[in-house]
Structure 1
Amino acid sequence: MQWQTLDSTPSLLPLYWRAALKRKITGSTLPEHGLRCRVSVNPRAIAAYRKVCGFADSPMLPATYPHILAFGLQMQLLTDKAFPFPLLGLIHLSNRIRIHRPLGGVGDLSVGVYAHDLRPHAKGATFEIVTVVEDALGLLWEAESQMLCRGVKLDGEAVDNTLQVPGPTIELTRWKAPADIGRRYARVSGDYNPIHLSAPTAKLFGFPQAIAHGLWNKARTLAALGEHLPVANIEIEVEFKKPVRLPGEVVLMSSAAGSSGELELNGTGDIQHMLGKWRPIA
C-alpha cells in the first residue's frame, strides 16, 4: 500500500464536478494507493452532527462521526482518474466500524482511506472503502464500507456474504425520517448525493422519492441504542436492505444486550431497511 499524504482535507465542490462528469466504467482494477491527512476535530461541527443524528451530548465522539472526517478523502479517492468506476450510481451495501479505544478527548487525528477487495457480484462487482483513524497512541477507529458497481464484468464466482436475520428482537423505539433529513444530513456530512436531497433530484436516478442516507440510518440507530452499547472494543456491522423513503417512519428492533447484540430497522408493512449486529473486536 502506497500512501499519498495531503496537506489538508480536499475541497468538495471540484470533486462533485468530477463525479458528475464521469459516467462510464473505465477499468476493472482498483488503484494501489491510499490517501491520508491530518484533521482537527471541530466541536461546532460535532454538535451539528449530533443534532441531525439524534446523539445525546457526551464527552465521546459519536461512534459514526469519523466517517464525516474521512468523507473528503473518500470523495477524492473515488473521483480520481485512476479509479475505474463512476461515483454516481455506486450502491452502499454494508458498513462495519470498529472502535478500538474510547473516542473521548479527541483532537488532532490522522485519517487514511483506500479501496480494496474487488470481487464479482451477481449484479456487477463489489469493493470496500477502508477508513483508518489514528491518534498519538495508534489505531483508534476503522471502518469498511462495501460498495456495489453494477455492470462490471469480473472473472470468478460471486459469493453471498449477506448477514443472517437476527434472532429474537423486541421493539426498542421508533422515529420519523422527515422529508428534509437528506438535506440536513448533507449539510453536516458533505454528502450531497442527489438521491437523498429531494424527489425531483432522486427521480433523475430512478427513485420515486428521496431516500435517507444509509449512514444516517446507522447513526440514528446507534444514537437510539446509546447506553446499550460499549464505548470501545466494539465492532458494529450493518447491512443496508430496502431504502428508507422520505418522509417515512421506522421501527428499531433490538436484542439490546450489552457487549453483543443484534438489531433490525423496519418500515411499514414489515419492509426491512437494515440488519445489524455488534460484538467485541475479535
Structure 2
Amino acid sequence: MKRTWHHVHRPAGRASLYLRAAGKRSITGDRLPEAGLRCYIPLQQQNLQAYRRLCHFADDGRLPATYPHIMAFNLQLQLMTGHDFPFPLLGLVHLHNRIEVLRPLGGLEGLHMAVYADNLQPHAKGGTFDLVTEAQDGIGPLWRETSRMLVRGLKLEGAATPTPPDEPVDLPEATRWYADRDIGRRYAKVCGDYNPIHLSAASARLFGFPTAIAHGMWSKAMAMAALRGHLPPSGYGFEVAFHKPVRLPSEVILSASEAGPIGAVRLDGHAGVLHMAGHWSRL
C-alpha cells in the first residue's frame, strides 16, 4: 500500500486528545487509515532527565532506547483519535512491543517522527494492528518501534493465527524492584499516558481491573535500564510480549541471559506469575 502523509507543525494538545478519546466508545469500522502523521519533535531536556530518574537510566549522553516512544506519544494519540481511526483508544490492549536502535541515539536536539497503523489481523479475542513509530535525524533512520495492539470485540474475516505457547526459559536473576502504589501516576506525569487503569484502584475497577496496574512500557524501560551492560549502543532489536499485568503495589523479578549479541529476558512476579518475556538480538 502506498502511504500518504500528513505533516503537522506540532502534535495536538494532550488535553484535547484525551477529550477526543473519551468521546469515542465504540468501533466504527474495520479499515485502518491509509495516512500517517509526520512531525519534528524537539528534545525537552527537563522531561528527559525526569524520565531517566523515573526509569533508572544512566545519563551517558545517549537517549534511553525507550525515550523516543515518549517523544512520539502525543503524535501516536493524535493518529489514534483522528476521525478516520476506527477503534476507540480506551480499551486497547498493548500485547507486544519491539524497539530497534539502528544508530546511536546521541547528540540530538530533536527527532523527525513518523507514526502510522498497519497490519490489521484477526485475533481470538477480536483483532490486532501494529502502531509503527519511526525516528530520523538529518542523516537518516535512527530508531523504530512496533507496538501490537488488541482491539477486543472486533470482528474480521479470516481465521486468527494461533499464538504459540511460551517456552519455559530458565534464566539467572538479574535484579528485582518494587512497583509502588503510585508508580502509574508518576509515570503518567512524566510520560503523558493517563490511561485510567494505571492511575488508581478506583479508576482501574471501571475497566475490570481489581487494582491499578503498572504501564507495560515502564516495565520494559526498567528492564532495558537494568540490562544496559548487556546491550550494544546500537544495531540491535529488543522485543517483549506483555503477559499478566503488574498489579500495584508488588515486587517483580527480572531474569536475563548473560551479556552478548543475543539473549532472553523475562519479568516475573511471585507465585509463578509471568508479566513480560522477550529477547534481544543484533540487527
TM range (shorter): over 0.9
* Cα distance change, pair 107–143 in 1 and its aligned pair in 2 (3 A): same
- Contact kept, 8 Å, 1:264 with 1:275, in 2: the verdict is yes
Task: Give, in angstroms, the shift of residue 161 of structure 1.
Answer: 4.4
Give distance in 1, aligned partners of 2:168 and 2:67: 25
Give distance in 2, aligned partners of 1:145 and 1:83: 16
Give distance in 1, aligned partners of 2:100 and 2:51: 20
Taking the TM superposition and a 5 Å limit, the aligned residue runs for 1:1-282 are 1-161=3-163, 164-165=166-167, 167-281=169-283
- Contact kept, 8 Å, 2:128 with 2:149, in 1: the verdict is yes
* Cα distance change, pair 163–12 in 1 and its aligned pair in 2 (3 A): farther
Amino acid at match of 1:261: G
- Contact kept, 8 Å, 2:36 with 2:115, in 1: the verdict is yes
Deviations 1:170-211 (A, max 9, x none): 111100001010001001111000000011110111110000
Secondary structure of 1:18's counterpart equals helix
Amino acid at match of 1:254: A
Secondary structure of 2:52's counterpart equals helix
Give distance in 2, aligned partners of 1:117 and 1:173: 36
Give distance in 1, aligned partners of 2:8 and 2:121: 29
- Contact kept, 8 Å, 1:40 with 1:107, in 2: the verdict is yes
Secondary structure of 2:72's counterpart equals helix
Task: Give, in angstroms, the shift of residue 163 of structure 1.
Answer: 7.5
The more displaced of 125-134 and 5-14 is: 5-14
Q: Note the residue ranges of structure 1 that are not aligned, 5 or more in a row.
A: none
Task: Give, in angstroms, the shift of residue 63 of structure 1.
Answer: 0.6
Give distance in 2, aligned partners of 1:198 and 1:165: 33
Task: Give, in angstroms, the shift of residue 54 of structure 1.
Answer: 1.2
Secondary structure of 2:181's counterpart equals coil
Give distance in 2, aligned partners of 1:80 and 1:270: 40
Task: Give, in angstroms, the shift of residue 106 of structure 1.
Answer: 1.3
Runs of 4+ off more than 6 Å = none
Task: Give, in angstroms, the shift of residue 166 of structure 1.
Answer: 5.8
Amino-acid identity (%): 54
Give distance in 1, aligned partners of 2:42 and 2:165: 35
Deviations 1:190-237 (A, max 9, x none): 100000001111011111000000000000110111111111000000
Amino acid at match of 2:183: I
Task: Give, in angstroms, the shift of residue 260 of structure 1.
Answer: 1.0
Give distance in 2, aligned partners of 1:247 and 1:162: 30
Tell me how many residue pairs correspond in the alignment. Answer: 281
Amino acid at match of 2:121: R
- Contact kept, 8 Å, 1:166 with 1:275, in 2: the verdict is no
The more displaced of 159-168 and 95-104 is: 159-168
- Contact kept, 8 Å, 2:178 with 2:252, in 1: the verdict is yes
Give distance in 1, aligned partners of 2:195 and 2:164: 25
Give distance in 1, aligned partners of 2:189 and 2:165: 31
Give distance in 1, aligned partners of 2:107 and 2:168: 34
* Cα distance change, pair 163–32 in 1 and its aligned pair in 2 (3 A): farther
- Contact kept, 8 Å, 2:11 with 2:78, in 1: the verdict is no
Amino acid at match of 1:183: R
Give distance in 2, aligned partners of 1:57 and 1:32: 38
Amino acid at match of 1:240: F
RMSD of the alignment, in Å? 1.1
